[in-house]
Amino acid sequence: MPEIIINGPEGRIEARYHPSKIPNAPLAIVLHPHPEHGGTMNNKVVYALYRCFTDRGFNTIRFNFRGVGKSEGRFDQGEGELSDAATVLDWLQEQNPNPSAYWVAGFSFGAWTGMQLLMRRPELSGFISVNPPASLYDFSFLAPCPVSGLILQGDQDEVVSKESVDKLVDKLSAQRGIHIDYRCIEGCDHFFTSKLPLLMKHVDEYLGSCMPSMKIAANM
């Protein structure tokens, strides 16, 4: 899990990268929560998502948005952070030119940014959004949503209302050809306090259903 530095739009981007030993393994990029509210790539939910992908044999990267940790620049209300994510995805593709699939995962603000990345990068084939902030940000850009994915939401989330995520899921699920696997976690707050093993279980189950051969290959 070496530290790497990527040249970004505002200077260096600090990242952690786990390369897969599997030929043509899929790629996954994991995005952290709001930079102005303590969000970093070392957030426990972000790290849990990262582990789920690495355990499945993905080439996986997580990174700090501009102005966080060793990443240069200043918070840019989401627009610059989306550019950071696109730059990191470019770097990941350069390291792995023939992946079998492309995924994006994000937590809270990172989920919002990740779903915007879906709209800009047609190569992305799957997503995982944890507590997407539908009560705080506009998700109307998902018209239509380009790919199916997993949405996880805590029913005791004190930051993002469950009702707003319910409405988002209903909107996306009504779109032709899109299947949203929506899992509401009972007794779970915004930060999945004491529920991280359950989060990882749901994510691993979903990845296993989408890419059943990866677990076997990752453990070889």
At residue 212, the pLDDT reads: 74
Which residue, 121, 117, 99, 112, is CA-closest to 211? 99
How sure is the predictor about 46, in pLDDT bands with cuts at 50, 70 and 90? very high
Per-residue pLDDT tens over the stretch 61-94: 999 999 999 999 999 999 999 999 999 999 999 9
Within 111-159, strands assigned E span 126-130, 149-154
Which pairing describes strands 149-154 and 180-185: parallel, antiparallel, or unpaired?
Answer: parallel
What are the tens digits of pLDDT across the range 112-148? 999 999 999 999 999 999 999 999 999 999 999 999 9
- Write the DSSP string, 188-203: --TT-TTTHHHHHHHH
Separation CA 127–CA 105 (nearest Å): 6
Give the Cα-Cα-Cα angle 189, 193, 195 (nearest 5 degrees): 95
CA distance linking residue 86 with residue 73, whole number of Å: 16
* Number of domains comprising the chain: 1
pLDDT of residue 2: 75
Q: For the whole model, what pTM was predicted?
A: 0.95
Q: How far apart are the C-alpha atoms of 118 and 29, rounded to whole Å?
A: 12
Instruction: Report CA torsion sign: 182, 142, 55, 38.
Output: negative
Task: Return the structure tokens found at 99.
Answer: 């992946």
Cα(30)–Cα(12) distance, rounded to whole angstroms? Answer: 18
Supply the mean pLDDT for the chain.
95
CATH number at residue 144: 3.40.50.1820
Give me the pLDDT at residue 72, please. 98
At 216 the pLDDT is: 45
CB 19 within 8 A of CB 2: no
Report whether 118 contacts 124 (CB < 8 A).
Answer: yes
Per DSSP, the three-state class of 148 is coil
**Domain assignment of residue 58, given as a range:** 3-218
Q: What is the dihedral of CA 34, 211, 18, 90, to 10 degrees?
A: -70
